[in-house]
Structure 1
Amino acid sequence: MKTMNSYKNYIFPVMAVACSLNCTAKEKVKRPNIIFMMTDDHTTQAISCYGSKLASTPNLDRLANEGVRFDNCYATNALSGPSRACILTGKFSHVNGFTDNSSVFNGNQPTFPSLLRKAGYQTAIIGKWHLISEPKGFDYWCILTGQHEQGDYYKPDFCENGKDIQEQGYVTDVITDKTIDFLEHRDKSKPFCVMYHQKAPHRNWMPAQRYLGIFNDRVFPEPENLFDDYSERGRAAKEQDMSIAKTMTDAWDLKLLTHDEIMKLPDDNKFKKVYTRMTPAEMAKWDSTYAERIAQFRKGGMNDKQLISWKYQQYMRDYLATAQAVDENVGRLLEYLEKTGELDNTIIVYTSDQGFFLGEHGWFDKRFMYEECQRMPLMVRYPKAIKPKSVSNAICMNVDFAPTFLDFAGIPVPADIQGHSLKPVLQGEGKAPANWRKAAYYHYYEYPAEHSVKRHYGIRTADFKLIHFYNDVNEWEMYDLKKDPREMHNVFGKPAYAKEQRKLMKLLLETQKQYKDTDPEEKVHVLFNGNKVNQNK
């Protein structure tokens, strides 16, 4: 692997010397390291410490057992690039400027890595970036390229401090290798902040070779609302394009082509491109794994409902097998930190850029403000401040991560950051302070675009959710999350909920004023036929 030598050449022509004799006592205090682990589309339904019936994730469970698990952490815009921009800046999409995946991140604005670096931290981003512009504020960066910056599962391409490289192997393993290599050769006189960001388990769910077919004989429980008919909701749920029934493709998603059929595809076919990144031996194992699935499909004989159930099972087998390498590699990284004596002096955060639908409402993907994708996993381990086995119900958002990192590092949080430090929650065994926020705010912009999820904004309180879909519709939805946790029954406008509805409408306006989203239906950048345009509300 090229990482070690190129990393040394980029960053350490001369190792930093020890602190001079006139260092202040404050400067001699050992500040915590930070490992910020983030995956892509890894939802709480697939993590066993959240009660998953689908997966076992022992290494992620370890983080929760030795730290805190947050049960109410929410994305402010459940889409990869926008969520990452919110995390970096501690600001909402309408403030940081990255509202949708056609945006370009303005790296000149302050981010938590750049502020940490100015304060003496050594900073790195390794893995998925997906913000189009080059990373700034890092001593070292090595980000995935290709597939529109999603990266590839096999033989992945990277841009390493401006140089294009390609690595052999499986992407989840390679990113961990590179992270450990960085830590092994870092400047040990400085605390570090590493953004360890995996591609997995993003669509199209290609497992590592060692996990191919591990769930082929397992039948997964179906979500109760797999066959949701959207009878109590409006156009947004009915007009989406993210259903297992109609949107999943035979090749890209379900892998229903043989080797010979794939090789006959045009060279620019996206599935052929990812398939041919495998070595001949890897292709052979892949073909053997999916042969029975292809035979089942071509045998036919399934009615529409049976076919949806069958597709759901194949989806789960691939998604969960892809996520296996994530948990395994988290364990590798924890083992390295333990071996080097840095584990307990390192704040370790695990999250995903948002959640994901695993068949709920008949869907895959994210974008909606519904619980499965708005909710993010969040586990934090730092024994110097966090009591083991803590569980928090505090309402937090991804804009809270930046001020939390700065707060623990002893760096003043800039006044224009919109999130709040989670430090008092973490130190308080997961309990929220008395004056903690009452609602999480959400605003999704990318429409018309892939998956056809309409623009919407809203708030999520401990017990209720209020959503307004706008642009080419004007529809409201409200859910009683205690009685209806699966969000099947829209109670907006029902007399029994009139009082609560008025309270939520008032709180929504107050929240929008607080976060400076006072004209939420103003002109926004959206993706339309592949071009970035402005559209009126």
Structure 2
Amino acid sequence: MILWDSGGWEETMMTFASIALVVASTMPMAEPAPQAASKPNFLFILADDVGQEVLGCYGGQSYPTPHIDRLAQTGMQFDHCYSMPVCHPSRLALMSGKYPFRHGQVTWGDYPKEGEGKTFANLLAGAGYATAVAGKWQLTLLGDHPDHPARLGFQQWDLFGWHEGPRFYEPMIYRKEGVRPDTLGHYGPDLYVRSLIEFMKAHRDQPFLAYYPMALCHEVTDDLEEPVPHSPFGRYDSYAEMVAEMDRNVGRLVAALEALKLREKTLVLFVGDNGTPQTLIVRAEGKELIKEPVYSRWHGQVLQGGKGKLTDGGTRVPLIANWPGTVPEGVQSQALVDFTDFMPTLLELAGVPVSSDRSLDGVSFAPVLLGESDGVRRFAYGEEAVLPKPGGVEPERTSLGLHWVRTTDWKLYNDGRLYDMRQDPFEQRPIGRDQETKAQHQIRTQLAKRQQQLRPE
């Protein structure tokens, strides 16, 4: 069992913070050229397998996250951001502004070819943004499609090959020129962050999108012929160690923006792609991978991760927005956000018109970020992972393809289960039709109508 409390990490985190500031402050200090106020920079951080219970600012008690907590304290923290329950469907929704089912039968590790030119990166690049991505690319096998990041709008990339090699120690990292030959003895997350810092430094005189889909805090690749290398300690990193590295790297990136005098010109978004893992690979014994459950302490309760489930444990994720002088400080927003909303939000803030024929599911929450609205979206949507595996073999699923529509307080599954999420956040007591009140019946009717509009069965 993996269960960490915070005491032993405070000294380590102070060291991490000091290193981050030194790294950023030693960069050459050239005065940036002016940017148009209507074209902010975007540092978009997508953490991997990090639920709300992990972060201190959301009530997490197992892992110190001082840099991320600081972003929340000096920015806007969202209580109701909803992803898909696993990695790839969340990325489909994020990149396209559309729900996964809209894309038809897309395999794991794939992206619909007809949608490649309509990603948020391509649209921002078309509006004059410099674009870069570093970290995890789970949208194709880069060995088969090495130009895929460019097709989706990125001009620069440092990405580990999804299910092609290691992501952490001695990582296999692709650039435009091919697989990097210089990663021996290096730790992947350090290389990804260094790549983005160099990119932001090189493009500080024009608006940029620096997209960081983290490798952290996902377990190591589990389906290679030989297990990936252990850490220098003869095992894989624990979940607590990965959380510490995640927070340290967020601190490095923010410190770099400050050193480059770009903080007031940059919207920093931090969000998790789905819930915390239920288990984690901790070591390899020969070719056998040994797993242990992951537990975290949250508001005095001990919770196992919920990744892969349609519950809040799998889909309710942290979202923090920080933009000094523009996003109000110290706000805990109750606005409803889902993963299709990031694309129209970035485009609106960048002044990029969204074509009316694109039929996005997303709703821009830019008015919330600017302090002009308490919320725009009325319903959020989530669906189970029903994408077929490569080769056409589909995973097991319910006959209906389980999905839900919800508000902040109420949640209706397409199998008829209705939950009062204020009173029953762990979904232990579904409200049956024969026991619901008149008010609850009206809520069911409203949610069912929205569900039918989205996905007629």
Partners of 2:354 and 2:86 lie apart in 1 by: 26
Q: 1:41 aligns with which of 22, 39, 49?
A: 49
Residue 74 of structure 2 corresponds to 66
Residue 14 of structure 1 corresponds to none
Residue 90 of structure 2 corresponds to 83
Q: Compared with structure 1, are the counterparts of its residues 453 and 175 closer, same or farther at alpha carbon in structure 2 (3 Å cutoff)?
A: farther
The secondary structure found in structure 2 opposite 1:322 is: helix
Partners of 1:376 and 1:117 lie apart in 2 by: 28
Instruction: Give the CA deviation at 1:180.
Output: 1.1
Q: Compared with structure 1, are the counterparts of its residues 444 and 333 closer, same or farther at alpha carbon in structure 2 (3 Å cutoff)?
A: same
Q: 1:384 aligns with which of 313, 320, 325?
A: 325
The secondary structure found in structure 2 opposite 1:484 is: coil
Partners of 1:71 and 1:406 lie apart in 2 by: 23
TM-score between the two structures when normalised by the length of structure 2: 0.76
Partners of 2:205 and 2:39 lie apart in 1 by: 11
> 4+ runs of 1 displaced by more than 3 Å?
27-30, 96-100, 102-105, 357-365, 447-455, 496-499
> Which amino acid is the alignment partner of residue 286 of structure 1?
G
CA contact (8 A) 2:167 2:220 kept: no
CA deviations over 1:240-294 (Å, ceiling 9, x no partner) = xxxxxxxxxxxx7xxxxxxxxxxxxxxx976x52136x5xxx1xx336xx9xxxx
CA contact (8 A) 2:268 2:321 kept: yes
Instruction: Give the CA deviation at 1:518.
Output: 2.6
Instruction: Give the CA deviation at 1:385.
Output: 2.0
The 5 Å alignment of 1:400-411 reads 400-411=341-352
CA contact (8 A) 1:465 1:479 kept: yes
> Which amino acid is the alignment partner of residue 407 of structure 1?
E
Residue 54 of structure 1 corresponds to 62
Instruction: Give the CA deviation at 1:72.
Output: 0.2
The secondary structure found in structure 2 opposite 1:275 is: coil
Q: 1:164 aligns with which of 158, 165, 179?
A: 179
1:477 matched to 2:417: yes
CA contact (8 A) 1:369 1:467 kept: no
Q: Compared with structure 1, are the counterparts of its residues 111 and 391 closer, same or farther at alpha carbon in structure 2 (3 Å cutoff)?
A: same
Q: 2:273 aligns with which of 339, 353, 367?
A: 353
Q: 2:407 aligns with which of 454, 461, 484?
A: 461
Q: Compared with structure 1, are the counterparts of its residues 111 and 338 closer, same or farther at alpha carbon in structure 2 (3 Å cutoff)?
A: same
The secondary structure found in structure 2 opposite 1:491 is: coil
TM-score between the two structures when normalised by the length of structure 1: 0.66
Partners of 2:324 and 2:271 lie apart in 1 by: 18
Structure 1: tracts of 5 or more residues without a match: 1-17, 20-26, 206-251, 253-267, 291-316, 469-474, 520-537
Aligned residues with identical type, % of pairs = 28
Q: Compared with structure 1, are the counterparts of its residues 448 and 157 closer, same or farther at alpha carbon in structure 2 (3 Å cutoff)?
A: closer
Instruction: Give the CA deviation at 1:355.
Output: 1.8
Partners of 1:414 and 1:406 lie apart in 2 by: 11
Residue 127 of structure 2 corresponds to 119
The secondary structure found in structure 2 opposite 1:466 is: strand
Q: 2:311 aligns with which of 370, 382, 394?
A: 370
Residue 444 of structure 1 corresponds to 384
Larger Rg: 1
Q: Compared with structure 1, are the counterparts of its residues 202 and 389 closer, same or farther at alpha carbon in structure 2 (3 Å cutoff)?
A: same
Partners of 2:304 and 2:208 lie apart in 1 by: 39
CA contact (8 A) 1:492 1:501 kept: no
Q: Which is helix-richer, 1 or 2? A: 1
CA RMSD of aligned residues (A): 2.9
CA contact (8 A) 1:349 1:379 kept: yes
Residue 27 of structure 2 corresponds to none
CA deviations over 1:32-62 (Å, ceiling 9, x no partner) = 1100011111111100000112222011011
Residue 193 of structure 2 corresponds to 176
CA deviations over 1:111-153 (Å, ceiling 9, x no partner) = 111111111110111111100151221211222105257x522
Q: 1:286 aligns with which of 234, 239, 245?
A: 234
Q: Compared with structure 1, are the counterparts of its residues 97 and 128 closer, same or farther at alpha carbon in structure 2 (3 Å cutoff)?
A: farther
Instruction: Give the CA deviation at 1:507.
Output: 2.3
Residue 262 of structure 2 corresponds to 342
The 5 Å alignment of 1:400-439 reads 400-415=341-356, 416-428=359-371, 431-432=374-375, 436-439=376-379
Partners of 1:341 and 1:406 lie apart in 2 by: 23
Structure 2: tracts of 5 or more residues without a match: 1-32, 279-293, 297-301
Paired residue total: 385
CA contact (8 A) 1:78 1:366 kept: yes
> Which amino acid is the alignment partner of residue 173 of structure 2?
F
CA contact (8 A) 2:305 2:314 kept: no
Q: Compared with structure 1, are the counterparts of its residues 325 and 371 closer, same or farther at alpha carbon in structure 2 (3 Å cutoff)?
A: same
Q: Compared with structure 1, are the counterparts of its residues 157 and 447 closer, same or farther at alpha carbon in structure 2 (3 Å cutoff)?
A: closer
> Which amino acid is the alignment partner of residue 177 of structure 1?
R
Instruction: Give the CA deviation at 1:90.
Output: 0.9
Partners of 1:417 and 1:349 lie apart in 2 by: 21
The 5 Å alignment of 1:216-235 reads none
Residue 264 of structure 1 corresponds to none
Instruction: Give the CA deviation at 1:97.
Output: 4.4
Partners of 1:61 and 1:204 lie apart in 2 by: 26
CA contact (8 A) 1:126 1:142 kept: yes
Residue 395 of structure 1 corresponds to 336
1:94 matched to 2:111: no
> Which amino acid is the alignment partner of residue 425 of structure 1?
V
CA contact (8 A) 2:109 2:139 kept: no
Partners of 1:381 and 1:418 lie apart in 2 by: 24
Residue 430 of structure 2 corresponds to 490
CA contact (8 A) 2:47 2:216 kept: yes
Q: Compared with structure 1, are the counterparts of its residues 413 and 511 closer, same or farther at alpha carbon in structure 2 (3 Å cutoff)?
A: farther
